[in-house]
Amino acid sequence: MNPPEPAEWSVSAGLVAYAEAVLAMEECVAAIHRAERRERIWLLEHPPLYTAGTSAKDHDLLDARFPVFRTGRGGQYTYHGPGQRVAYVMLDLNRRRRDVRLFVRDLEEWLIRALARLGVRGERRDGRVGIWVTSGGGREDKIAAIGVRLKHWVSYHGISLNVCPDLSHYSGIVPCGVAQEGFGVTSLATLGIDVSLPQADAALKAAFADVFGPVTEALDEERV
């Protein structure tokens, strides 16, 4: 199997509407499947909103204070908003490996390595998707979420990393269905890690290359 060309790496300025992003991803995934464009990693921020994955339960939506979008990605309810880095991952597993579990584990490894570059120990937890950090008193908080979908073995949706979002917005949902006492959500800012979104992006970019291979900057006219 020939390795794919370096994936294109795009970062959007400003807030991108969720419906617009989904449409752009679907168009990109179709083009990748037709071998008309390279794989793509798209970093952005959304305005405040909630998304419901395929496993979302209605009772986990506690307060619909923001728009709610039903989406085909895996997982349950999550929040997106300013200060959170969303990375949409459009990779062709036909040219990599058709193994969903391995792919999700690689996404986890990507986040763990990026967090390590920022001085944070991120960890996996059996039965809980995403990346977690341990806090005092045995508490564990989720700092990054994962939710993906495949079409023709091309991935889309992806990951989100809490850099400096307003964590109070998570109180409108049961994040990812985890409601047990001692579990919550956190951010780099809450952990005392003072980094900008561009600094977080640099860590994500370097860690992505470690796990998935090299990337190339997308030309302005080629941005999603």
Give per-residue pLDDT as tens, 126-160. 877 899 999 777 789 999 999 999 999 999 999 99
Q: Does domain 7-222 have CATH number 3.40.50.300?
A: no
Active site residue 176: yes
Contacts (Cβ under 8 Å, ≥6 apart) of 53: 71, 73, 74, 75, 76, 77, 78, 147
pLDDT interval class at 181 (50, 70, 90): low
The predicted-structure confidence for 19-64, as pLDDT tens digits, reads as follows 999 999 999 999 999 999 999 999 999 999 999 888 888 888 999 9
Q: Is 37 helix (H, G, I), strand (E, B) or coil?
A: coil
Q: Distance between CA 123 and CA 125 in Å, rounded?
A: 7
- The pLDDT of residue 179: 60
Which residue among 41, 176, 188, 200 is the active-site one? 176
Domain residues of the chain, as ranges?
A: 7-222
pLDDT in tens, 11-29: 999 999 999 999 999 999 9
pLDDT for the residue numbered 220: 58
Q: Which two tokens stand for residue 102?
A: 């391995």
pLDDT confidence band for 221 (50 / 70 / 90)? very low
The pTM score is 0.93
